[in-house]
Structure 1
Amino acid sequence: MPLHTIANVAVEDEGEGDAVVCLHGLGGTSNTWTPLMPALGGYRVIRPDLPGSGRSGAAGGELTIEKLTECVTTICQRLGVSRAHVLGHSMGTIVAQHLAVAQPRLVRSLALFGPLVAPPDTARANIRARGEKAQAEGTRGMHDIALALVNASLSADTRERQPVATAFVRESLMRQDPQGYARSCAALAATVAAQVERIEAPTLLVTGDEDGVAPPQAVRAMAERLAAAKGVRTIVLQRCGHWTPVERAEDCVRELRQFLPAQR
C-alpha cells in the first residue's frame, strides 16, 4: 500500500479501479475506513489523515473547513484523480459536501456516514470548549475527551457488546495530537454550511438511531434539501451511535456494495 506525503498530509493509496476518496471525522484517521474496505475491492481507495489529524501535520495558519476542502482537491490533483466517489464520516461529511459544491465534476457520488450540514449552535460551543481543553491540557485533556466521547457518541449496545469497536474509538481519540485536535475543533465549530441544494451527485446518507450528532430527523431533513441530487437514499441503523463505520461495519458494507456499483 503506497503512502504519500502531500502538502504535509499522509495519504494511503490502495488498489486499482475507479477512485474512492475517504474523509474521516473529528478525532478520526484513515483507519476509520478500515472496517469498510471489504466493500471497496476493485476500487482505488485514497485515505488521507486530514491536516492536524493522525499522522498529518497541521497546515499553516488557521484551520478551516475550506482549507480542508482545498487540501482534498490538491490530493486528488497530485494523484491524478479527476473523478471520485467520496465517502465521509462526521466532519468529513461536511468537507465532502463543500467539495461536491466546489468541484462538481470531481465528485461522482457521496456516501455520508453520520452526516450533518453544520453543527447546531449549542454543539458549536461544546466543540470549542473541547478544543480549548485539548490545547490547554494536552495529553491529559485528550484522555478526558476520549472517555467522555466514548460514552456520548457510541450506542449503549456498542459499549456493552463490542469491546473492540469501543477500544478503537477510544484509541483513535487518545492518539490525536492535542494541538492538531484543537485546531480541528476550531474548524468544525466555525463551519459555514455548504449550499447543499446545489449538489447533484447521487447521495447515500447513513446514520444511527442513537446518533446524537446526526440524529435521524436531522438527516432526513438534510435529505430533503438535496433536491438536485440524482437520487438520495437514507438509512437509519438500529442500536447504533455516531461511529457508524465502526459500530455497524457489516451494515455499512452492505449499503456501500449496493450503492457504489449503481453509480458506475
Structure 2
Amino acid sequence: MASLISSYGIVKSSSGKLCYEQEGNKDGPAVLFIHGLGGTTNTYQPLVSSLQDFHLVRFDWAGHGRSSVPQKTSIDSYVEDAEGKCQSTKAIPEPCQQMAAVIKYFDLKDATVVEHSLGCLVAMTLAAKQASLLSRLILYGPVKSLPQAGRDGAKGRAENVRKGGMATMADTVIGNAFAAGTLKDRPKTVAFGRELLCRQDAEGYALVFLALAESKDPDWSAIKAQTTIISGSEDKVSTPALCKIIAEFLGHTTVNLVTFEGVGHWHTLENSSESEKVLKNAVKS
C-alpha cells in the first residue's frame, strides 16, 4: 500500500499556493509532517503506509514540490505567515497558512510535529513562539543557525543554483547527504533522493538557502514540547555532535536522543523501518 489520501488541496496564502495532503484515522493521534530543504511531502512516503492509525497531514513548503514559488521568504515567515488568513481553493477553507494554520484548521489536538533538517528549525521556532499548538517534536537531523562562513556558503549555493539549475546541484547534495553504504548499495534510494531534488524549482530552492543564511536560533528555553532527536552516524549536515548540542539546549524539557548507524542525513529514506519505530514510540509516549 502506498497512501490512502482522504483529502488534498491547494491553499492560497501570503506565500502563494500550498499543497496539502491528509490521510489516516482522523480520530487517531495527530501527526503533522514538515520536510526539509529539497524535500516534499514524499520525504515521508516510506513511512505513511504503516501509520494509518494516526491522523496524518503533510504539506509542501512554499517554493517546494507542488506549491508555488514566493517572491521572498525567511525562516520567520514560515511561522509568521501562519498567523494570518488566506482564501482557499478546493476542499480546504480559511484560515490556512503554513504550519500553525494547518494545525488550527485540522484541529490537531496534542499534535506531534515531525520534521527533517531545515524543517526542524522552522518547527522549533514555532514551538518557542506558540508552545500550546504542539506537544511533541520529532527532529530528524535538526540544524541551527549558521556561523558567518556557513551564511556566506548558503548565499553562494543560492547563486549557483540560480545560474546552473537543480541538475548542477543535485549530485553534490546527494553525495553529501547519503551514507557511503547507501550510495554504494542502494541505487533506488539514491535515485529517489535525486528525483526529489531535480524536480524542485531552482528559484524556490535558492530562496530557502537565502532564508537559512539569515536564520536565527529559536528561544530554546521557550520550547516545552517533548522532543525526540534523530541523527545518523554518517550525517555530515546534522552530525551526532550537533544533535547532542541541540539536546543540551533543550535539556529543560524531555529529550530522547537516537543515532541510526550507517545512515546519513536522509533518515526516512535510508532507514524507514527504524524511522517508523521511533515515530510510533514518540507519539504513543
| Amino acid of the structure 2 residue aligned with 1:111 | I
- 1:172 shift after superposition: 0.5
Alignment check: 8 A CA contact 1:39 1:256 kept? no
Q: Which residue of 1 aligns with 2:191?
A: 167
Q: 2:267 matched to 1:244?
A: yes
Matched, 1:179 2:203: yes
Alignment partner, residue 214 of structure 2: 190
| Distance 1:236-1:225 versus aligned 2 partners, 3 A rule | same
The CA RMSD measured in Å over matched residues stands at: 1.4
More helix by share: 1
TM-score normalised per structure 2: 0.86
- 1:142-197 per-residue CA deviation (whole Å, 9 max, x = no partner) reads 10100111111111011011111111111111100011111111112211110122
Maintained 8 Å contact 2:75/2:215: yes
Q: Which residue type is aligned with residue 54 of structure 2? A: Y
Question: Normalised by the size of structure 1, how large is the TM-score?
Answer: 0.93
Instruction: Please state how far the C-alpha of 1:67 moved relative to its aligned partner.
Output: 1.3
Identical counterparts, % of pairs: 31
Aligned residue identity for 2:214? A
How do residues 1-264 of structure 1 correspond to structure 2 at under 5 angstroms? Answer: 1=5, 2-6=7-11, 7=13, 8-15=17-24, 16=26, 17-59=28-70, 61-69=71-79, 70=82, 71-137=98-164, 141-229=165-253, 231-262=254-285
Q: How many residues of Structure 1 are paired with residues of Structure 2 in the alignment?
A: 257
Contact 2:29/2:283 (<8 A) preserved:
no
Residues 182, 270 of structure 2: 8 Å contact kept: yes
> Residues 131 and 222 of structure 2 are in contact (CA less than 8 Å); yes or no, is this contact kept in structure 1?
no
| Partner SS, residue 250 of structure 1 | helix
Task: Give the unaligned 5+ runs of structure 1.
Answer: none
